Every structure is written in C-alpha cells, then in structure tokens.
Amino acid sequence: MWAWIGSFMSYVLEERSLFGDGVQLASLITFLVFAVGAVASSLAGAWSEKIGRTAVATIAMVISGCVALFIGFIPVQWSVLIVIFVLIWGASVIADSAQFSTAITELSDPVYRGTMLTFQIGVGFAITAGSIWLLPIVKDLSGWGWAFAILALGPAVGITAMLRLRSLPESRNLAGGKR
C-alpha cells in the first residue's frame, strides 16, 4: 500500500472535488502517513519492551490488516474518514517490521543471525515488490477496494505466525520474557 497511497489519496481528493486539484493535498497526506509511521515505529519498539514483541506485532497487524481490508471500499465522499484511516494505517503497518527483526536477533543462533536477518529482509522486499506489481492490476480490474483488500492476506499470515511463535517456549527469550 505504501507505493500506492499517494495515487489513492489523489483519486479520493479529486473525486471529492471540494479540494480542486487534490494532488498537493494528497502529497501532504502521503508525507504525513510516512511521518506517523516513523514515530509509531519508535513507540512500538518501546511498547514491545513492556508488553512483548508478539503482542505488539499482532496488534499492529490486526489494525493494518483491517484498514487494508476496508479502506478502498469507503465512499470518496467520506474523504475525512479515509484520511484518518490512512494515518492509522501508516502508524500500524510499520510497527510490526522492527518487531520481526528484533525477534530474529533475540531467538536466532548468533552464528546464523546475519543470514536469518538477510533472509527476512529479502523475503520482505520480494513480497513488497510483488504487491507493488499486483496492486495496479487488481485496481484496474476491480477498483481500489479489492486492490487494498488483498493486501490484508499478509497481516493475516503474520498474525498466525506471531500467535504460533507466542505459544512456543522459545518466545520467553523475547523482550526479557514478555513474548
């Protein structure tokens, strides 16, 4: 969704037509989505030290997945609601990423730690590249709603993985035992 949020917001604001040329406002909103994500990522790291990495990652993925599932179906007339949701999405979507990397460093054998982090980052980039490629195809076939909704599959898989990890005894090695 990161790569397409500017285009989506331009579409929403231009369709709304209250804002005239929605491109400048869409650019500002897109910047705010990234800025909110940067702040939220730091806050999520601190929060994960208190309540646990799997908990924070799961909460973040539930929120980002729900936003992805529904945001494209919200009528453009409700543009203020859409802006609120893209900001919520920006805060939640990045909050899980650092939790994954930190969990790998806490759980992996030091001999393989670099390899595991490289693998995790590579898989993440491959999934991102695939979704950037796929999203406009789905959008052209069925609209923004379905294009964003299919992205909720990623958080669904991630939530399942985090809950599984949380159930394992090894998860006690995360965040000083807070899982």
Domains contained in the chain, number: 1
Cα(121)–Cα(130) distance, rounded to whole angstroms? Answer: 14
Q: Are 5 and 26 in contact (CB under 8 A)?
A: no
Q: What is the pLDDT of residues 80-123, one digit of tens each?
A: 999 999 999 999 998 888 888 888 898 889 999 999 999 999 99
Q: CATH no. for residue 135?
A: 1.20.1250.20
**Predicted structure pTM score:** 0.88
Split at pLDDT 50, 70, 90, the class of 178 is confident
Q: What is the pLDDT of residues 142-173, one digit of tens each?
A: 999 999 999 999 999 999 999 998 898 888 88
What percentage of the chain carries pLDDT values higher than 70? 96
Q: What is the pLDDT of residues 38-61, one digit of tens each?
A: 999 999 989 988 998 899 999 999
| CB environment 105-132: b (16+ within 10 A), e (fewer) | eebeeeeeeeeeeeebeeeeeeeeeebe
Cα(169)–Cα(91) distance, rounded to whole angstroms? Answer: 30
Cα(54)–Cα(174) distance, rounded to whole angstroms? Answer: 8
139: domain range? 2-177
